[in-house]
A and B are shown apart, each in its own frame.
Chain A
Amino acid sequence: MPINYYIYLSVALFIIGIVGVLTRRNAIIIFMCIELMLNAVNLLLIAFSKMHHTAATVLDPATTAGTEGQLFVFFIMVVAAAEVSVGLAIIVMMYRNVHSVDVGFLNRLKH
């Protein structure tokens, strides 16, 4: 499949994630949308790595070009997991203080 299909899909997922972050008020939902954005990027990276492998295989059938993309996805997932754990801990903290997970209450930056 031409690579640009994958690009379009990935971009669409990314935009959906952004719109979700902008539109929703619940903190947990926002986190989920951030996850969605990260996964869109993962998808894109995999697609590109496959593309590079395919282009290199034409010249030499036994290459291992293009593994960098997949390894980077690996690390992205690691970071995403770490971020989720810390983020949920913060949300729990917030809930204990304010008894709500609405981000509208976070306007302390104004004062």
Chain B
Amino acid sequence: MQNVLQIAWLIPFFPLLGFLINGLARKQLSKGTTGVIGSGVVFLSFVMSVWVFMQVKGGGSHDAYYFDFIKAGSINIPFEFRIDALCSLFLLIITGVGFLIHVYSTAYMHEEDSSNFARYFSYLNLFVFSMLLLVMGGNYVILFIGWEGVGLCSYLLIGYWFRNKDYTAAANKAFIMNRIGDLGFLIAIFWLISKTGSASFTEVFSSKALEHLTRSDITIITLLLFVGATGKSAQIPLYTWLPDAMAGPTPVSALIHAATMVTAGIYMIARSNVLYSLSHTTQNVVTIIGLATAILAATIALKQNDIKKVLAYSTVSQLGYMFIALGVGAYSAAVFHVMTHAFFKALLFLGAGSVIHAMSGEQDIRNMGGLSGKIRTTYFTFLIGTLAISGFPLFSGFFSKDAILLAAYEHNKIIYGIALFGAMLTAFYMFRLLLLTFSGGFRGTEEQKHHIHESPAAMTIPLVILAILSFAGGFIELPVPVREGGNKLSQFLAPVIPLHEGSAISHSTEWGLMGLSTVLVIAAALFAYAIYRKYKVTEAKGFGKLLENKWYVDELYDSIIVKPLNSLGDFFNKVFESQVVDWMVNGVGKAVNYSSRQLRLLQNGQVSVYVLLMVVSMLLIFLWQFFIRK
């Protein structure tokens, strides 16, 4: 097996196979078989991804061309894969974390009947397939195919319990908001193809193609691509679907809305770093929106009472941080944060799932408390996840967040300040979540108390693995002052993302920044501890009420966009459809009826009438011949 990159197409092929088998044979398979097939194919992809990673680490990259996908006139878009450093990193994340989540799901979803169970796994496999297609794509079009595929699977999985109307509404919302972003993405692709004649990464990023693009071209293309990213990665203004997407099963939230789909936007921008580096306008826009989203979502998370919603807003906020990193040009820092975020956010979501499982379906943290003694593994892993996301030293989140903050500091001190404030908020609301869920006295019902039990091994083992990764995952990218040349991740990604040559910041400043963030985070955690140790359920008022209601953004969208569209649709239905269209269609029928009745009178069998008609026709022919055809 000299060059495994030749058969790298097997990586997306396995989940596709799993999707087909589980989907088509879902009535025949037992739950055990489904689980094995579903998880097994992802495991096979993971093994292959590791192999690919080894090859790429040695300096290999591969452009695989399969067939001509679109060939129209001068446009030629092949179906091609590009396997390089960035791609292989994402492959590992997707298949690795995906595999753990698949295993977790076999236990979490065991209450479903076997046909629905198989449906769940087929959707999950289809999702993994689409995501792999997205990251392996060699041009924007293949990327877009995967992009659409994950949007579709997100819809299918959020609305998995389709009998509940609220869930299906949430699924619709997710898909529609994604689509709005996709419009921007598509226009960007069209623009790019019309200006450079190709959508392939290798061609578009070459200097030959870049000559064709003017400055404004690049700005427009990158802005439109970013619009697509806001839809997929839940930034302002297209973020409201993500909290509602918590209607889906918890493993789905872990996989799709924490580790993989929402990071598609980051991947796309990291892949296009050549274009983004050329347009400062777009970079500023990206930074501002990322920052605004990070702070907005963090403030909302402070007052949420559903365990999954807190994590959802936390995801939106962390994605904002990644976009801040992209905006200031620290692409590898953003990718690093993607990786660590995948670990600890998946861990947190799976842990939340474990808690919900223990509480027999309860999700409101006001009814929890004191669980730390009863579900110890879940508690410890959740604690590790919380420490990681808050940025406690030595945990993975610390290194990745500090990389972002450092890049922000280099760029603009104000952005750094606000981002730092956001980090404090992060620590605060995460510890609030931890304390309300696990500490204090139990606030639930007696029956729930009776049922509290630790989750089965299929659920706890992934939690443990993810906890280990959340702790140790940060060590691959150590900042320069800690260890010279310790930034292994950036070096690995150097072929795709050019290395940031030296920084203007001295080592002592860096140490100072790291220390500052650590101190502030610990302070925020202690502050949360002080408030929430003795917690009583109170009614939220004033500013708290505003936060709890998510700044009323959903209501704003509803009144500005949804209601006018609905009334427009109503108008068209009542007025236009019933009066104009129906009138026209029925009118045609009536006209045919009438004219046929009149024509029928013509055939009355009277010979004289026939002769009359003959004479009239003769007359007309004469007229035409003599006078009109001069």
Contact = CB atoms under 8 A, between A and B. Distances in A.
Specify whether A and B are partners.
yes
B611 interface: yes
B608 A110 contact: no
B608 A22 contact: yes
Contacts of B612: 22
Contacts of A111: 605
B605 A103 contact: no
A109 B615 CA distance: 20
Contact of A22 (B603, B604, B615): B615
Nearest to B604: A110
Contacts of A2: none
A108 interface: yes
Interface string A84-111: 0000000000000000000110111111
A109 B611 contact: no
B603 A110 contact: yes
B585 interface: no
Interface in B365-410: none
B606 interface: yes
A18 interface: yes
A21 B604 contact: no
B1 interface: no
B607 interface: yes
Interface string B591-628: 00000000000011111100110010000000000000
Contact of B615 (A18, A25, A103, A106): A18
B616 to A, nearest CB: 10
Interface in A58-96: none
Contacts of B605: 106-111
Contacts of B611: 21-22
A38 to B, nearest CB: 16
Interface string B136-154: 0000000000000000000
Contacts of A107: 604-606
B629 to A, nearest CB: 21
Contacts of A104: 606
Given A18-B615, A22-B612, A22-B615, A103 B603 contact: no
Nearest to A30: B608
Contacts of A108: 605
A26 B372 CA distance: 116
A104 B606 CA distance: 6
B608 A103 contact: yes
Nearest to B610: A109
Interface string B184-225: 000000000000000000000000000000000000000000
Contacts of B607: 103, 106, 109
B214 to A, nearest CB: 79
A104 B608 CA distance: 8
A14 to B, nearest CB: 11
A103 B604 CA distance: 13
Contacts of A103: 606-608
A104 B607 CA distance: 8
Interface string B101-142: 000000000000000000000000000000000000000000
A21 B608 CA distance: 8
A102 to B, nearest CB: 11
A108 B605 CA distance: 6
Nearest to B606: A107
Nearest to B615: A18
A106 B604 CA distance: 10
Nearest to B609: A22
A19 to B, nearest CB: 9
B627 to A, nearest CB: 17
Nearest to A104: B606
Nearest to A23: B608
Contacts of A110: 603-605
A110 B615 CA distance: 21
Contacts of A18: 615
Nearest to B616: A22
Most buried by A among B604, B605, B615: B605
Nearest to A109: B605
A4 to B, nearest CB: 15
Contacts of A21: 608, 611
A52 B346 CA distance: 111
Nearest to A22: B612
B626 to A, nearest CB: 13
A110 B604 CA distance: 6
Interface string A21-58: 11001000000000000000000000000000000000
Nearest to A15: B615
A2 to B, nearest CB: 20
Contacts of A106: 605-607
A106 B608 CA distance: 10
Contacts of B606: 103-104, 106-107
A18 B600 CA distance: 26
A107 B510 CA distance: 111
B602 to A, nearest CB: 11
B344 to A, nearest CB: 91
A110 B606 CA distance: 8
A65 B603 CA distance: 49
A111 B604 CA distance: 9
Contacts of B615: 18, 22
A61 B608 CA distance: 50
Most buried by A among B604, B606, B612: B606
A52 B68 CA distance: 80
Contacts of B603: 110
A8 B615 CA distance: 19
7 contacts: A22-B608, A22-B611, A22-B612, A103-B606, A103-B607, A104-B606, A110-B603
Given A18-B615, A106-B605, A106-B607, 17 more contacts: A21-B608, A21-B611, A22-B608, A22-B612, A22-B615, A25-B608, A103-B608, A104-B606, A106-B606, A107-B606, A108-B605, A109-B605, A109-B607, A110-B603, A110-B604, A110-B605, A111-B605
Interface of A: 18, 21-22, 25, 103-104, 106-111
Interface of B: 603-608, 611-612, 615
- Listed from nearest, the 9 A-B pairs whose CB atoms lie closest are A110-B605, A107-B605, A109-B605, A22-B612, A107-B606, A106-B607, A18-B615, A21-B611, A110-B604
